[in-house]
Structure 1
């Protein structure tokens, strides 16, 4: 009986160690919208520190050029940003594509997970995103995205991705991160 208890103890310890090691692998955070195998929560440390690359893209209003008509109802829809863990946006519409260096990745991490909106903050009612943050794993697959409208401080992130609220009072920080990375297009003079 004593040996059985010792054996069970070691099996339990080994199982815990294996689970702990696996919780930081990319397989555990391969969350993309519509992915049937998606994990419901993306760990913020893996999102920034574990991403092989973090890219920011900018584009004109997608509803004007990146749409599909997928039915008989004559309704035109914006294409999903991802398809099979790859970017699903027409390359012709992309204005900028920049990879964040380590310093900018840390600033982005602070913006997303540490810095917060003030107690009384503002948001607008529009949602005209012109930028998207893409998180790549080592296989060059996109495992998370955040599409953002800098004008109204509204964003849409991958399912299970929890980050601090965005508000108008903080948007200048994100704008500056994008600008410092080399993004030139911010939708100026674009007709709605």
Structure 2
């Protein structure tokens, strides 16, 4: 009888442990390769502000751009040199159309041409953004990082120095859940996680910025 009782106790313990393990490996109701980090401790605001690029920035801005371009056909080569009047008209019309932009040019030229929507973040908003960037992925033990689609960012975070010049850019593609920062590479898809992108997208949308391709603009 004691052996039978011990067997039942062992089975009950095994079932409970198995359920706990299953719960740990489930995030937002989906089975994944992510386990909740039991030792998670959020990085406090003061500590986050000591990290680059927040330790150097005097202004943080979030933006949207490339909203009118389908990433599959965003790049369109210019027409050949004009030979006729009609060719000249086509060339002029081509350059009047909005062109997809690469934000890396901002670092060198400080030109923000092509940006569609923009908003400056206040102190509270900077705190929330830094929390998303530095604490979201720390909640989990990530075994595998996924990457899909072609990187075609439509949103970014711009960091300005004391001379009001952009010194760091963090670009985000919510459609393929990918990101890139430059020139420092302080954060990109290799050291982020899938869970950070829904959080960032909600943040951008809450500030009134679009994050997806606007099909009706072209």
Normalized against structure 2, the TM-score is what? Answer: 0.52
* Counterpart position of 2:209: 184
Between the two proteins, the alignment pairs up a number of residues equal to 141
Query: Is this contact kept in 1: 2:74–2:100, CA < 8 A?
Result: no
Distance 1:166 1:147 in 2: 13
Normalized against structure 1, the TM-score is what? Answer: 0.58
Give, in angstroms, the shift of residue 156 of structure 1. Answer: 1.6
**Partner of 2:211: helix, strand, or coil?**
coil
Sort the Cα spacing of 1:101 and 1:177 in 2 relative to 1 into closer, same or farther, 3 A. Answer: same
* Counterpart position of 1:21: none
**Partner of 2:116: helix, strand, or coil?**
strand
Which of these residues, 43, 54, 65, is aligned with residue 60 of structure 2?
54
Q: Which range moved further: 131-140 or 120-129?
A: 120-129
Query: Is this contact kept in 2: 1:95–1:185, CA < 8 A?
Result: no
5+ residue gaps in structure 2? 1-48, 79-98
Sort the Cα spacing of 1:124 and 1:65 in 2 relative to 1 into closer, same or farther, 3 A. Answer: closer
- The alignment yields a C-alpha RMSD, in angstroms, of 3.5
Query: Is this contact kept in 1: 2:204–2:210, CA < 8 A?
Result: no
Deviations 1:29-84 (A, max 9, x none): xxxxxxxxxxxxxx962422431110011012497779887xxxxxx995444153
Distance 1:131 1:67 in 2: 21
